[in-house]
Structure 1
């Protein structure tokens, strides 16, 4: 352990998941002597819940008994009036015993130094979020990649928008207090969108590659969810993006060569800005042409599916939940 790790405040890491994944082991291996990892699932039926009797892990994970004492599995229960993710984070915040909090997810790699890097970011600039790059794992997911890099990665990198996969803050940083924040979490869908409403956050100078999709249906549901989140939390930006999408699609249809060259160059420049070495930037042209159709579909959808539940999100704090 370095001197900086010894001097920093202890940290509670919240990781919602239904099963013990490689990400859990990666984060657990980075805990300091006074840190804790809370693996948060829904109910006893989730596979990771079996580890509750083992202190959050087992010796075959290559961890010492001392480390097992700092890994806890927390049951959040079924959500009522909010998303499963928001419910898990709210329960995790209440169960966490440290003042400094880190949120993360189980769908990307946490390399050695990941936790130390976030803590160093906090010491330098306060609440900090890492920057996600969503990489499609199915044809439709890859088709959406340019839109995710331009409409997701780029805005987060500019600061002010939190990404729940990698964000560090302290309870006292929440503008309206923790109780108000938790109340809002328990009646909405987006955990990180709600956090951004209560927290001033800066962006780290690095990205994390996140798998997006799995099947075309999952990619479509993710697209709908992402747009619904931005619609609720940043309505003016969403209106601007819709207008821009229609304008670029019109340009590509009316002047195909110039339009395709422009959007491909913009996409390629954005990929290069974040070190994304994927040929999917070449899909920017067809993606832009199709985007008004997908946007219209996403904006008119009354429900979307996420994590085995269907959500009807009528207003920011009006959510119906049902199993699928």
Structure 2
């Protein structure tokens, strides 16, 4: 039996979580889990001791000119002992075969990413799930866009690791930047990710998602605006046939990705609201994420402020 390639799993987090436990239980004898925080968290230090050398705390420090997530990923990659990286998040369930399946994916496809399905935790976020399914699941799959919540690649896949890490510490989106440096295959395997929690949090997330797409794919944003405007106009001009068409179309998207949620029924109003939400996301001058306010002036020009 072939020996598994040693892997460094990088997990940005603000505290010990179920994800830490789930991933630690899947590590091979040569693997490591790097739990990356802004500062030392005593609760994490206490739990890490239970796992010996396989789980380590990496203190990234406060971000300067980038997002906390990007700063954590950069610190994790610099601290990693192995050449194979797995990036992940702590906001979804990691089943017992999660890491093993990513290993198989890399052996088959090279750099590989799974897919998110964003599940709303407040009324607005739940209503917007069809929009998330289109832009965060379907489009990500069709375009082979990496999702930083669950992906695998190796150092040699990067054209210039030093330049990548330097750029990572000057931007907001870790997976947006990675997309420009590594070619990924996105497999049709989903993970349910909770989003929102309050109307305010959902609006802040909408701004962040919108600006990530705009900064890394302005042409795609323009195409999205043109298509969305035409679709919304059709819904307003022909409400009854459009209601049936967009609802059934979204139901087929849900079925294709195994999404068992009633929220496809909100597709019609979401289609109409999509353009106002896009304008709102582009017009906002800042957004809040993880307890910090970000002003994203340009792709590599970010101001970080306390919330």
Distance in 2 of aligned mates of 1:13 and 1:49? 21
Task: Indicate which of 288, 292, 296 corresponds to 1:313.
Answer: 296
Q: Which residues in structure 2 correspond to 1:8-157 (within 5 Å)?
A: 8-44=4-40, 48-52=41-45, 54=46, 57-59=48-50, 67-157=51-141
SS at match of 2:296: strand
- The structural deviation recorded for 1:249 is 1.1
Q: Deviations over 1:169-194 (max 9, x none)?
A: 0000012x100110110000001111
Aligned length: 307
What is the alpha-carbon root mean square deviation over aligned residues?
Answer: 1.2
2:241 corresponds, among 250, 258, 262, to 258
- Does the CA-based 8 Å contact 1:159-1:201 persist in structure 2? no
- Consecutive unaligned residues of structure 2, counting only runs of 5 or more, are none
Shift in Å, 1:261? 1.5
Deviation readout 1:73-99 (Å, 9 max, x if unpaired)? 111000000000000000000001000
Q: Which residue of the other structure, out of 223, 229, 241, is the alignment partner of 1:240?
A: 223
- Say yes or no: does 1:220 pair with 2:233: no
1:139-194 CA deviation, whole Å, 9 max, x = no partner?
Answer: 0101110001011101221243110000000000012x100110110000001111
Q: Is the 8 A contact 1:41 1:49 kept in 2?
A: no
- Corresponding residue number in structure 1 for 2:170: 187
Cα deviation for residue 58 of structure 1 reads 4.7
CA distance in 2, matches of 1:160, 1:84: 25
State the distance in 2 between where 1:165 and 1:73 align: 19
TM-score w.r.t. the length of structure 2 is 0.97
CA distance in 1, matches of 2:153, 2:139: 19
SS at match of 1:69: helix
Change (3 A) 1:125 1:42: same
Cα distance in 2 between the residues matched to 1:73 and 1:49: 10
The answer on whether the counterparts of 1:43 and 1:49 sit within 8 Å (CA) in structure 2 is no
Contact 1:108 1:208 in 2 (8 A): yes
- Return the alpha-carbon distance in structure 1 between the equivalents of residues 13 and 278 of structure 2: 29
- Return the alpha-carbon distance in structure 1 between the equivalents of residues 143 and 153 of structure 2: 14
